[in-house]
Amino acid sequence: MKTLLIIYPHWVPANLAGVQRPRLIGNYLMELGWKPLLLTVDPHYYEEPIDPLMERTVSPDIEVIYAKAYKVTKPRIIGDIGLRAFPFLKKAALQICRERSIDFILIPIPSFYTALLGRQLHDITSIPYGIDYIDPWVHDITNQSNLRAKLSQILAKILEPYAVKKAALISGVSTAYYWPVIQRNFKTPPVHVGMPYGFDPNDHEIELKGLLYPWEEDGDCKPWIYAGAFLPNAHLFLQSFFQAVAHLRSAGNWDKRIRLYFVGTGPYPAKRITAYAKEYGLEDIVRENRDRFPFLHILNFLAKADRVLLIGSTEQHYTASKTFQCLLSKRPMLAMLHEKSSAVDVIRETGADEFLMSYQDGDLAANLVEKLTPLVMNFQKETDWKIDLQPLEKYTAKASATALMNAMEEVLLIRQVKRRGVK
């Protein structure tokens, strides 16, 4: 059995979206003939709140090795755990590569700085490595004018070419996420594969007892819920949605029992959701909790809500991994996404596009409000929400793990052929 060394500085019980990538892939590698070996950082060094429930979602097949990291200083100068743990991860990874038979190294990013480990480990051990783009490293920061964002992008443009130069595999949650990387850095594309986060059906079978739902204090209401980080390029969608709701309210076409819940939206730097709500006179029906919620809490919230909201991004490459969570909640879904987002294809394949608003480059807020108003009005009504989940089989975590496995096997085969040619 071949062994894949995955280097990712966060792991359960960390409650971060990035943890899902190695977890979902790792859960299915063993049955595909690859042993998953994860090198991560001891939870003692995490800044984020931990979620012990996450341990219920991890396969025992994943072997985990922990490294140390520098603690966060006061004042906080370096928070990125990829930087704080870099020398310790490198030392541990070299020891693993020398003592174990490692066939391939995979480094999901962010944290972006751990991508540098792939190049450095390869130069020392010759083990092939791949970089897996959960998010683009070099990206548009139009909506992030702060100095930290600008500096990070300057570094990204310097460090990414070094990190990817000798990568045998480039992967990502979609081809659109990583294809600009290949265009910028390779004359001949390496082996590459797009594979969505996907989902583990077993996660959605875990029902939590005694869970406190965000709407319990609001009594007899109809909760519509958006769960997850609020994206830098989602502001236009949110404004248009709130404006459509405001129009319906003023025209007497709004169910007064509806409440809008935004949970786990995170510490985004731009204008607050609650500020938009106040601007449109909706502060009495909008609730926001920016704290990150445990993963299984979110799945249970979605499954018990009256309606679910999927507010995506105006960027084409945004894949909306939360699409699967929303669909598997089996609740009616209102979605706002770029027309060319792969999530739109998923929604249409399942027949869940009754309340889909697709965005095209150049659409103004007025266009979106015009599209959204009738959708939101009908979204309030009782609906026989029946969708076909069978097409989602190709988007499962097992399907993504299979795609990764096939790509790694291709890399190893190419290396084997080259060695034979040299001989």
Residue 4 pairs with which residues in a beta bridge?
Answer: 36, 104
Is 422 within a domain?
A: no
Is 230 within a domain?
A: yes
Structural domain ending residue among the three candidates 200, 228, 256: 200
Is 420 within a domain?
A: no
Domain count, the chain: 2
CA 358 to centroid of chain Cα atoms: 20
pLDDT tens-digit profile of 86-140?
A: 999 999 999 999 999 999 999 999 999 999 999 999 999 999 999 999 988 987 7
Q: Are residues 178 and 300 in the same domain?
A: no
Q: Are residues 184 and 224 in the same domain?
A: no
Q: Are residues 42 and 164 in the same domain?
A: yes
Q: Are residues 110 and 253 in the same domain?
A: no
Is 12 within a domain?
A: yes
- Calpha distance 338→344 (Å, rounded): 8
- Calpha distance 173→322 (Å, rounded): 12
Q: Are residues 232 and 187 in the same domain?
A: no
What are the distances in angstroms from CA 243 to CA 10, 230, 279, 370, 394? 39, 18, 9, 10, 37
Residue 25: CB atoms within 10 A of its CB come to 30
Give me the domain span that covers residue 15. 2-200
Structural domain ending residue among the three candidates 165, 181, 200: 200
Q: Are residues 144 and 266 in the same domain?
A: no
Is 286 within a domain?
A: yes
CA 6 to centroid of chain Cα atoms: 17
What are the mean pLDDT values of the chain's consecutive 10-residue runs (423 residues total)? Answer: 97 91 96 97 92 93 97 88 96 97 97 96 98 88 71 89 96 91 95 91 92 94 96 94 98 97 91 96 97 92 97 86 91 96 94 96 94 97 93 93 98 92 65
Is residue 309 a contact partner of residue 70, using CB atoms and an 8 Å limit? no
- The model's pTM: 0.78
Q: Are residues 336 and 359 in the same domain?
A: yes
Q: The domain that contains 47 carries what CATH number?
A: 3.40.50.2000
